[in-house]
Each structure stands twice: as structure tokens, then as C-alpha cells.
Amino acid sequence: MKSPELAHRDRLIRIARRAMAERGLLPEFSAEVVAETEHIDGPAADRDTAIRDLRHLLWCSIDNDDSLDLDQLTVAETQPDGATKITIAIADVDALVKAGSATDSHAAENAMSVYTAAVIFPMLPERLSNDLSSLNEGQERLAIVVEAVIAADGTVTESDVYRALVLNHAKLSYDAVAAWLEGEAPAPPALTAVPGLEEQLRIQDGVAQILKGLRHERGALTLQTTETRVVFDGDRLAGMSGVQKNRAKYLIEDFMIAANGVTAGYLEKKGFPSIRRVLRSPERWSRIVELAAQLNFRLPAEPDAVALEKFLDDRCAAEPETFPDLSLSVIKLMGAGEYAVHQPSQQPNGHFGLAVRNYSHSTAPNRRYPDVITQRLLKAAMAGQPVPYAFETLDEMARHCTEQEGNVSKVERQVAKSAAALLLSSRAGDCFDGIVTGASEKGTWARIFTPPVEGKIVRGFKGLDVGDRVRVQLLDTDVERGFINFARLREK
């Protein structure tokens, strides 16, 4: 029999599977999906003469240390006029996952991979997502390539989308690349092993800063949240740590935002519909205005991204240590994004947080189903073929993906809360400082700072709202349901 300590991961996996089933998500692949995957001989190949050979470019991937489902490669090249051409290769998942197949149906049902604290439930079988359709180091792969010429002021002056054969020359990690870019550590061995790659990444970092600068001028929001990561020692839960974005993560984020803008624009020019990623004006702008007023900053009565960015930029400079908490409050008050079908004749809804009007999801097809749909639309547009989906089908898919994204988030939060409850199960009566992260008729929640976990304030919650600082006492926990209950402590 396993000891209680060694059973931590197993217990959380069981909770994750139950949460998946309760939310209508599929935790297992069917026998049909397994059979389809077993019959795939190897990586996709295509003899289409229109496919370009770009294996010679200094492609590299930058992702988490433990990521195996590599969706993108990047490269950049300076131009004689001072502009920079950035090129993003995206894994050609559609080449192996055919529309209507059992594998495609499973991916469509879940809509995305589920990353819980204890286990990952991939959208695609690991033989695909971690191998045959992953842009693995040293492996030739088919890709959808997005190309954009970025002028010195950050504007896109030229762009294109096409198919190509690519080769990942170096698998790099965010943390190692960020430490090198920021001068805190030497270049990682995988980087120095490829001649010319160090200079290549310097170029990418430089143009990423330009792209970011222009977006923020236009009102893209400076948000810096702390991601909570569960730490295991083997199968024993050892603690929880906060992880923030770094320079390498921002580099990839800036490139992906640019690529998603190009793909949306490409489909628009071809007269094709697209599934856009939309974030409308903040649901609780009045509360954001209140938070700003408490910090002696005046925001307009109506949602204004440029004014909000000025406020956030000021607070980031003034109080960098507490800025992630303010960022979390603003994110909660802005509401959730959604997927929506866009017709070329329509005015785009845009993405409030990114300050972009034309924005699809196209850069993570191993992990997100909307990106697979976008890939099929792009391929049809490139080949001069009819739109492969009826508008009603796209609209239904967009709604379904939005709904499943919510369910996925709930499963991930459920497991994270169960892990947090397990970690705090012996600390009833202890007191913590925290910040209110949710306040509605359903209840009031707060995230304590150490360890960085969230729970419900079940006593003394009246008058609290998102962004308020609180001191709470832990009352009890329920690991199976992921409940952590706090009582608010009043100031004497």
C-alpha cells in the first residue's frame, strides 16, 4: 500500500479525472483514436511543389523546460531599409489529423489540452502532439509559415502566409534564454552549439521590443500576473511557487500576437470567414475606475484602453512588487475572452487587452482546436479552394470552444485548489495576508500571498470587492472539493 505522502499525485489525478467527466470533457482517448494513431507511419509528407524548403533558416523553439508539444519556431532577418522580417513556423497538425476523423472529433470535443497540476490531458494523442506533429529539434516537419516585415516604428508593412518544410535547430527554454538576454547567465549550451543563433535571437528580441512598444502606445495593457505552480518531490506534494513571465516569454508572445494578426488579415483579404479571439470592453469598468481612484489616478467614466495602460504603466513603475496583485484584479474585472466568427464584411470586435482589432488563434494547433480550424481555413485560402466550413458550423464551433475553454479552466482551477487544500490541510487557524480576487452573489474569494493560493471568505465578507487587501484566518479545507475557507480578520 502506498503511504499517504506518495499518494498525493494519485489523489490529484483521480480528482482531475472526476472533474473532467463532470464538465463534459473526455479524459481518455477512444479505441478508434488509438487505432488511428497507431496506423500513422511517420511525420506528414507532401510533394506539393508550392511547399517551400526553409530548413536552412536558423529556426529554434523557445518553450517551457518540460514542454514536448512544440507548436512554433521563430526566425528574424534584418532588411537593408532598417526593417526586420520575422517568420513564424506553425506545426501543420491538419496534415496528420484529418477533418471528421476520430482523432479530430476528440480534439473538437475537448477543444484544447487540459494542463492540471498533477497530469496533462492532451488534446491530441502524445504520439502526435509530442512527436509526429511537434516541431522537435533535429526533425524535418511540414509547417504553416507566417511572415511579416516590421518597420522601425513597429508597423507591419508586408505579410504573407504559405506552407514550408522546416527544421528546428535548437530546443530552448524560456528561463535559460531570459537569463541570457537579461545578462544574468551565460548563453545555454543548446544556443551556443548553433553558429549564428545568438545573433539571431538578439535580432528577435530587438524586434519584439519594438512590436510591444507600438501595441502599448495603442493601449495594449501592461499586465504582470504571478502564475501558481504546484511543486512535487516525486509524487509527494512539496509546495506551491509563483512564476512570472520573463523576457523570453514576452518575446514569443509578441511574435505570436503578430502572427495571429497576420493570419486574421490574410483570411480577410481572401474573403474567408475566420474564428477570432475577442475580448470586449471590461465588464466592470466602474470598479477599475474605483481601484485607480484609490491610488490617486483618474480614469474616464467609459472604457479607455490607452488611459488604463497609462495607469498600469505608472503603477508598475511605482510599486513593482505589488503590481502582479493589481494586474490580477484588473484581469478579473475585465472578464473572459471568447471565440467569435468574423465575416469579411463585418467590423471586427477586437481584443481590448491586446489593443488589436484583427486577431485569430493560429499558433498552437497541438494544444487548441480553434487553431486547427484556422489552419484548415488558411490551407483552403492558399489553394484557392472553397471555404471548408459553413458559417453555421463555424459559429457553433466558436461557441463550443468558448464553452469548453471555460470548462477546462474550471478543471484546472479545481485541481489547483485541491492541491492547495492538501497543502494547507494541517494549517487551520493560521492567519494570512491576501487580496480579494472575486466578489459576486456566488461568494467572495481571496488569494493569500504565501503560499499563493485562493480560497473563499465565508465570514466577514460584506463590503469587500475585487482588489481590496485583507487579512484572513484559515478555517478549514476540503481536498476532494477543492474548498479552502477563510474568515476575514478585522483591524483592531
Residue 152, all three cell numbers: 522601425
Residue 226: pLDDT band (50, 70, 90) is low
Q: Average pLDDT, whole number, for the chain? A: 90
> 3-class DSSP state for residue 458?
strand
**CB count, 10 Å around CB of 34?**
15
425-488: CATH number = 2.40.50.140
> 3-class DSSP state for residue 320?
coil
Q: Is the pLDDT of residue 6 over 70?
A: no
Nearest to 305 by CA among 210, 216, 213: 216
H or E element that contains 233: strand 226-233
CA 385 to chain centre: 31
Please compute the mean of the pLDDT values over residues 302-330 and round it to a whole number.
83
Higher pLDDT, 299 or 491: 299
Of 218-222, 261-265, 270-274, 372-376, the one with minimum mean pLDDT is 218-222
Please compute the mean of the pLDDT values over residues 348-374 and round it to a whole number.
84
Torsion of CA 22, 444, 112, 7, to 10 degrees: -60
CA 491 to chain centre: 39
Measured CA distances, 177 to 65, 84, 187, 207 (Å)? 11, 21, 7, 16
Residue 182: pLDDT band (50, 70, 90) is very high
Q: Per-domain residue ranges for the chain?
A: 8-279+338-419, 285-334, 425-488
In this prediction, residue 1 carries a pLDDT of 41
Measured CA distances, 178 to 181, 184, 327 (Å)? 5, 8, 22
Higher pLDDT, 246 or 475: 475
Higher pLDDT, 146 or 329: 146
> What's the rounded Cα separation, in Å, for the pair 273 and 271?
7
Please compute the mean of the pLDDT values over residues 180-203 and round it to a whole number.
95
Nearest to 63 by CA among 370, 375, 363: 363
Please compute the mean of the pLDDT values over residues 247-273 and round it to a whole number.
94
In this prediction, residue 5 carries a pLDDT of 47
Nearest to 246 by CA among 349, 346, 294, 177: 177
Please compute the mean of the pLDDT values over residues 476-484 and round it to a whole number.
93
DSSP secondary-structure letter at 94?
Answer: G
User: What are 74-105's pLDDT values in tens digits?
Assistant: 999 999 988 999 999 999 999 999 999 999 99
What does the radius of gyration of the chain's CA atoms come to, in whole angstroms? 23
Q: Which residue has the cell 505552480?
A: 229
In this prediction, residue 170 carries a pLDDT of 97
User: What are 366-395's pLDDT values in tens digits?
Assistant: 999 999 999 999 999 999 999 999 999 999
In this prediction, residue 352 carries a pLDDT of 67
Q: Is the pLDDT of residue 116 over 90?
A: yes
In this prediction, residue 3 carries a pLDDT of 47
Tell me the β-bridge partners of 226.
244
Cβ atoms of 259 and 90 closer than 8 Å: yes
Peptide bond into 451 cis (omega under 30): yes
Higher pLDDT, 97 or 46: 97
Higher pLDDT, 281 or 24: 24
User: What are 127-138's pLDDT values in tens digits?
Assistant: 999 999 999 999
All residues at 6 or more sequence positions from 119 whose CB lies less than 8 Å from its CB, including other chains? 9, 12, 13, 16
pTM recorded for the entire structure: 0.88
In this prediction, residue 284 carries a pLDDT of 86
DSSP per-residue letters across 362-423: -S-TTTBHHHHHHHHHHHHHHHTPPPSS-HHHHHHHHHHHHHHHHHHHHHHHHHHHHHHHHH
